[in-house]
Structures are given as structure tokens and as C-alpha cells.
Structure 1
């Protein structure tokens, strides 16, 4: 899995830095790329469910909401969808990143590191299809599109669900992807 992720990132970087080209990264519209990250998130979720006591931590995590009201989602413009997804990725990155400093098992640390790397790669995929990057709100207040979870297992479950839901729907609805570019 590590090799596949490394290969995907390497391809993106090579395409972006190809000599003689001043154009941005070619759009990555193939949902199989996202499916790879979803599978890794699901594997982390399954590992945390199995880990139970050895992977417990006494804290609450702020995570994005994962439910998608399709009527509301379809009424949103691409910038609103992008802001919601990028904000959610930011919240997930913060929550999962908070585990890096904790003294956890090698299994947990491996999934934490992979998840942080995957979120960065997903952001690169979204940039490749012209999805705007995350812009924190000026107010600095807590987003109403979040919830609290109290276990690492729930955190990774939300991570997996968020990728399968909102991130997948955003990538599938990106204008450049609807034009048949893959």
C-alpha cells in the first residue's frame, strides 16, 4: 500500500515538474485514485476497531460532519462544496495530527502517518481539478459543520466516511472532470 501511495504521489509530482512545461498538474479525475485513499482509510478504521484498549486515548476529537443531504449538496455551487470539503479535510488533518505526539502503538502511528500523507495527497488531487484550497474563516469560530467523537476508532470511521461521501461527490462533480478529462 505504501508503494502504491508513493507511486501515485510520484506520478503527480513528475507530471507537475515535467521540464519545458509551465502548465499546472494535469487533472486527476479518475476516481480509482481516490478509491485507493478510501481503502487505506477503511483499513485504518478496521485496525482501530480491532485495536480497542491498546489504541485508546482520553480525549475528544473535533471532526467534520459526514452526512450529505443530496438536495442541499446539488444546490451548492462548486466553491461552496470545495470550502466544505477542504474545511473538513483541514479538521480531519488537525484531529489525526493530534495523535502524532501521543505515545501510541506502532500500528496506530503507522495509520496516523499514512492518513496525514493521504490527506495531503487528496488535497493535491483536488488542486489538480481546480478545487480551491481551504481558506479559514475570518471569525476564527468553530464551524457548525463539525461534531465531537470520543475515540480513535470513531475518528478513523469519520475519516473513511468523509472520503467516501463528500470528497468523492466533490471530485465527481468538479467541472473539469465533467468535461471528460481523466
Structure 2
């Protein structure tokens, strides 16, 4: 099963790197986002089943990812993207920081997987840009210190189920419609 996930991730990353394939087209298939949400739940469940979860001696900073849907809808797609990039940047850093403190194999394996998945989203979102220039990590998202490993997984699941899912949904409204005009690609799946 892990090999299947690795192949899917490799295919995903190769698809992103191809010049002729627009990475934004990935948002048009709702099944992919549902798969990612399922993976976040699985990771959170598996880390909870680890024998011993040590408290981190050095706290990590986690983004506060809760949001008001009404306020979220009023933001531009670029603002949403930058906000999620800030959250992911902090989350990737937290996972890396926790990995350096955890020696227990089960928790270390789950943290490594979370790091890879969050970093993949981070790299993907950098390809979506409406403004000139590259994204810079000069953002200051709302955050809090945590010493519990489970908090990292909870934050990641909330980010994927919340902001990221709604962002992909918003992107699909624009990008899937553009992709259908004058192309032979199949229409987007209904949401």
C-alpha cells in the first residue's frame, strides 16, 4: 500500500514538473482532494496508535488554521494561497523540528510522512501565482507553541480539510472551466 502512495506522489510531482501539463488541472478531480483528506486522518490515527509519544522538549510553532468561511470567501485567491503557504511553511518547519527530537520509530515514521505530504502541498501551491515574483517566507501567520506530537497531525488535518480544500474548490471553479473551453479534456467532476 505504501508503494502505491509513493507511486502516486511520484506521478503527482512529475505531472507538476511537465511544462505542457498545468499543475492547476489537478484541482479539477475532487477524488484527489478526498484522498488527501483520508490520508491526513490515517496519519493522525496511526500516530495515536504509537506505543509512546514523548512530549517535545523544545516546543514547535504551529499555525492556527481555523477560519471564518465568510471572511475566507471575501479574500482573493492570491491572498488565500499566500495564507496557506505561510501555514504550510510553519507546519513543515514544525514537523522537521519534531523529527529531530523524536527517537521512537513509529512516531518518527509518521512525522516523516507528514513532512513529505505537507512539503508537497507547499511546492504545489508555489506554482499557483497571480502576481509577479516568487513567494517569500516573510509572512507571520497566527501561531502557537506546542509540545504534543499529536497537535502537529491535528493541525495538518484541519488545514487540509479546511483552507486547502476550500482553496482547491475555488481554484476548480476558475481553472476547470478554463480547461474545458476549447479542449478535449473531460469536464470536471461535480462537487
Shorter chain as denominator, the TM-score bin is 0.7 to 0.9
Counterpart CA distance in 1 for 2:46 and 2:13 is 30
Match of 1:95 in 2: 94
Deviation at 1:13, TM superposition (A): 4.1
How many residues in Structure 1 have an aligned counterpart in Structure 2?
A: 174
The answer to whether structure 1 residue 173 and structure 2 residue 173 are counterparts is no
Match of 1:28 in 2: 26
Match of 1:149 in 2: 146
Match of 1:160 in 2: 157
| 5+ residue gaps, structure 2 | 181-186
| Equivalent residue runs for 1:78-93 within 5 Å | 78-93=77-92
Match of 2:65 in 1: 66
Counterpart CA distance in 2 for 1:98 and 1:153 is 14
Computed over aligned residues only, the root mean square deviation of the Cα atoms, in angstroms, reads: 2.6
Asked if 2 retains the 8 angstrom alpha-carbon contact of 1:66 and 1:158, the reply is yes
TM-score normalised per structure 2: 0.76
Deviation at 1:124, TM superposition (A): 4.5
| 5+ residue gaps, structure 1 | none
Match of 1:116 in 2: 115
Counterpart CA distance in 2 for 1:31 and 1:131 is 21
| Secondary structure of the corresponding residue to residue 102 of structure 1 | coil
